[in-house]
Amino acid sequence: MVPPSLLTEMRGAAMSLTAAASGLVVFLLSVSVVQGVHDWGVSYSPTEICAAKGSTVEIRCNFTYPSTWRGSVNTVEKTFWFTKWKDGVHVDLTTVSEYAGRVEDLCENNTCTLRIRNLTESDSAEYKFKFETNQGGKYSGSPGVTLSVSNLQVTSGTNRLYCQSSCHQYSYPSYIWYKNGQSIQGETADYTSNPNNADSYSCALKGYEDFPSPPVYAPKPPSVSVSPSAEIEEGSSVTLTCSSDANPAASYTWYKKNGNQKRPPLTTEPQLVFSSIQSSDSGQYFCKAENELGKITSKVNSVDVKYPPKLPSVSVSPSAEIEEGSSVTLTCSSDANPAANYTWYKEDEDSPKASGQIFTITDFRAEHSGSYSCGAQNKLGRSNSTFHLSVVAGSSTMIVNIIRMTLGVLMLIPVFLLGLWTRKKKALRSTTEACEPVEIELDSIPEYENVSHTAAQTEDRE
């Protein structure tokens, strides 16, 4: 290919010749064209390069130019590599900030090499070489060299691993496979395997063995962190975080243990969050980490939620009516974490009656009757319950009272009998007086006139 600038100059030279020398003009033009085609050139080998990220690559070319041009000695004054235009001008890579300190332009005997160290994926581009001579000649070869910087990655399928590279669109490189750091197979982009949790796999481009892909492996045993790490109080915000070293990254599932029963997952996020944790959330938790190469569960982690005492309950033994002189046992119970301490009080008394969960009154008397309270307390708070105790007459008291009543009754009997005798005596006297004879003359009674006579006659007869 003849540079445009060279063609323009040749056309100008031809137009300056006279018509009489037209045959010579044709000859010179022909010579100039032939000289431009064969003496100006840039060739690249290879034209496609696939390199590993982080490695160093060398892009080479050979260039040619005529030793004389425009009737003068033609020498190379400037060479450089470029990828882009800026303001219509090719930009020397050694002046581009993205390549600062990473590129070298090495030329010797018409062979030039562009060396790029510590390759990044953004270095993927088409690179071209350009040279300029003292006679104003400029030339660049096109097309240039296509560089593809590959960030190798191993992906997995069913019993198969794949080495993914961005180089496939330009070429089909050879690969090397590694298992636990040891070479196991080469050439192909896939590898058939049945990985277990202990194995790791990586791949590399042939020729770039020192720059393998990141290894892939099943999740390592997960660790669980609890935040805040201090004591957990009811109502606070608590976060449990599950993490596992795995490549590709693991997905997570949280569970709460419930004996041997299988519980549904709580969340499929790495974090299990309690915005306001409750006492019912206390328990044992574990997480599962999983990727395409395997899965594993963490150790069980206990969550112990602390809370102040709930409202205490009080039991009385015996539960029947309290008899005077009997023994009474009071028991106070409250749900609390940490365990509560107990104190017993009686109304209108400042000093506590007792401390401890059990309070016993061995000889219950009437003065023991009244309202009592049980206070349950731990470092997080306090709660009270109030109740009333009253006494009923005991069996011994009832016996004494019965004896007293009996004696009273016995003492009243003589008085009662004496009164009864007096009343009977009076009644008898009244009866006797009423029964003395009274003479009544029947003749004075008309109805009995005949009767009286008859009786007299009868009496005479006798």
Query: Residue 166 carries which side chain, given as an amino acid letter?
Result: S
pLDDT tens readout for residues 137-196? 889 888 999 998 988 889 887 778 888 887 755 555 788 999 998 988 767 888 887 767
pLDDT tens readout for residues 389-399? 888 865 444 33
Is residue 430 predicted with pLDDT exceeding 70?
Answer: no
Query: What total number of domains does the chain contain?
Result: 5
CB hemisphere CA count around 160 (13 angstroms): 7
Dump strand ranges (E) for 158-199: 160-164, 175-179, 182-186, 190-192
Answer yes or no: is 454 within a domain: no
**For residue 279, what is the DSSP state?**
G
pLDDT value at position 50? 87
pLDDT value at position 333? 96
Answer yes or no: is 48 within a domain: yes
Answer yes or no: is 461 within a domain: no
What do you get for the CA distance between the two ends of the chain, in Å?
205
Whether residue 113 sits in one domain with residue 60: yes
Whether residue 175 sits in one domain with residue 135: no
Which of 343, 364, 392 is at the close of a domain?
A: 392
Whether residue 323 sits in one domain with residue 299: no
Tell which residue, 98, 117, 112, has the closest CA to residue 141. Answer: 112
Answer yes or no: is 429 within a domain: no
Whether residue 328 sits in one domain with residue 247: no
pLDDT value at position 11? 39
Whether residue 321 sits in one domain with residue 230: no
Instruction: Determine what percent of the chain is predicted with pLDDT higher than 90.
Output: 47
Whether residue 319 sits in one domain with residue 288: no
What is the pTM for the complete model shown?
A: 0.61
Answer yes or no: is 444 within a domain: no
Which of 128, 148, 168 is at the close of a domain?
A: 148
- Which residues span the domain enclosing 349? 313-392
Higher pLDDT, 298 or 453: 298
* Mean pLDDT, rounded, for 364-382: 92
Asked if residues 182 and 203 have their Cβ atoms less than 8 Å apart, the reply is no
* Mean pLDDT, rounded, for 116-138: 92
pLDDT value at position 190? 85
Whether residue 113 sits in one domain with residue 174: no
Whether residue 48 sits in one domain with residue 134: yes
Taking CA atoms, 298 is separated from 120, 240, 243, 452, in Å, by 38, 12, 9, 138
Which of 217, 244, 261 is at the close of a domain?
A: 217
Whether residue 284 sits in one domain with residue 207: no
pLDDT value at position 165? 82
pLDDT tens readout for residues 48-101? 888 889 999 999 999 999 988 888 999 999 999 999 777 778 889 999 999 999
Answer yes or no: is 408 within a domain: no
**For residue 328, what is the DSSP state?**
E
Taking CA atoms, 299 is separated from 197, 220, 282, 294, 302, in Å, by 17, 12, 16, 17, 10
Whether residue 300 sits in one domain with residue 319: no
Answer yes or no: is 449 within a domain: no
Query: Residue 274 carries which side chain, given as an amino acid letter?
Result: F
Higher pLDDT, 437 or 276: 276
In which band, very low, low, confident or very high, does the pLDDT at 348 lie, cut at 50, 70 and 90? confident
Whether residue 257 sits in one domain with residue 230: yes
Residue 81's CATH number: 2.60.40.10
Dump strand ranges (E) for 214-293: 216-217, 223-227, 232-233, 238-243, 251-256, 271-274, 283-291
pLDDT value at position 394? 53
Q: Which two tokens stand for residue 15?
A: 């137009």
pLDDT value at position 411? 56
Q: Which two tokens stand for residue 137?
A: 């000649």
Answer yes or no: is 87 within a domain: yes
Higher pLDDT, 295 or 424: 295
Whether residue 124 sits in one domain with residue 135: yes
What are phi and psi for residue 189, nearest 5 degrees?
-85, -5
pLDDT tens readout for residues 216-263? 999 999 999 999 988 999 999 999 999 999 999 999 999 999 877 767
The rounded mean pLDDT for the chain is 79
